[in-house]
């Protein structure tokens, strides 16, 4: 589903059709790498599905599609700079497409915003980062499946290290006044997200 949306935007932007195909193949390859269990093409599909119902609320849909495509293009569980590297990756690929600097910077900033998921002054960024967190407010079984996938992505770490790090992440979100910045996602997911994360946190103690 996401591939179709991205290909559509590339078709609008890219005079070089070979380049467009190369960019799409590169995205497909990166999100299909061994060791990815949650940060996959399915995650991109889910993000798009969350945002499509509110497409009319988005100021620049084209930029948002690029942000979805590249926000986890670089993902290494050993590193702390995945968002920054993904943003730089996106910037370079958008340069190949001769996109304006303002467009590249907005996309880059949206990707970097997924690091802390803080409130932004930009409307689209808040919708994007909220959609990125939608899984936190999913049903019990879906959330448990997500938690297991994340654990598998961090399988290089022994339990005592993983639990400590995961607890820190969960407490970070639970300490927020609101996990979701937009009323759309807050009404849909806030209550369930807090319940899911509290349950997971308790299971790690």
pLDDT of residue 34: 94
Share of the chain above pLDDT 70, in %: 96
pLDDT in tens, 38-71: 999 999 999 999 999 999 999 999 999 999 999 9
Mean per-residue pLDDT, 85-101: 95
Q: Residue 186 above 90 pLDDT?
A: yes
For residue 119, give every residue at least 6 positions away whose Cβ sits within 8 Å of its Cβ, in sequence order, or none.
126, 181
* Residue 11, pLDDT above cutoff 70: no
- Per-residue confidence (pLDDT) for residue 19, from 0 to 100: 84
Query: What pLDDT does 75 receive?
Result: 96
pLDDT at 38: 97
At residue 7, the pLDDT reads 67
Residue 75 CA to residue 73 CA, distance in Å, equals 6
* pLDDT over 70 at 2, yes or no: yes
Note the pLDDT tens digit of each residue in 145-156.
999 999 999 999
Residue 66: the pLDDT is: 94
Distance CA 33, CA 75 (A): 10
Furthest C-alpha separation in the chain: 55
Write out the E strands in 32-114. none
pTM > 0.85: yes
């Amino acid at each position: 589903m996401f591939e179709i949306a991205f290909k559509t935007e590339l078709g609008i932007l890219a005079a070089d059709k070979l380049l467009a195909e190369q960019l799409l193949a590169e995205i497909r390859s990166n999100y299909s790498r061994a060791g990815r269990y949650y940060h996959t093409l399915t995650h991109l599909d889910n993000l798009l599905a969350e945002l499509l119902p509110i497409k009319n609320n988005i100021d620049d849909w084209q930029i948002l599609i690029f942000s979805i495509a590249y926000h986890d293009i670089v993902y290494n569980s050993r590193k702390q700079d995945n968002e920054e590297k993904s943003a730089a990756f996106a910037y370079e690929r958008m340069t190949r497409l001769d996109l304006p600097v303002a467009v590249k910077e907005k996309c880059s900033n949206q990707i970097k915003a997924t690091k802390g998921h803080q409130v932004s002054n930009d409307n689209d960024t808040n919708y994007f980062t909220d959609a990125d967190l939608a899984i936190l407010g999913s049903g019990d079984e879906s959330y448990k499946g997500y938690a297991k996938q994340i654990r598998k992505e961090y399988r290089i770490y022994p339990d005592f290290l993983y639990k400590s790090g995961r607890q820190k992440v969960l407490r970070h979100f639970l300490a927020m006044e609101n996990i979701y910045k937009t009323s759309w996602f807050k009404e849909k997911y806030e209550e369930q997200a807090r319940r899911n994360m509290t349950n997971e946190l308790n299971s790690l103690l």
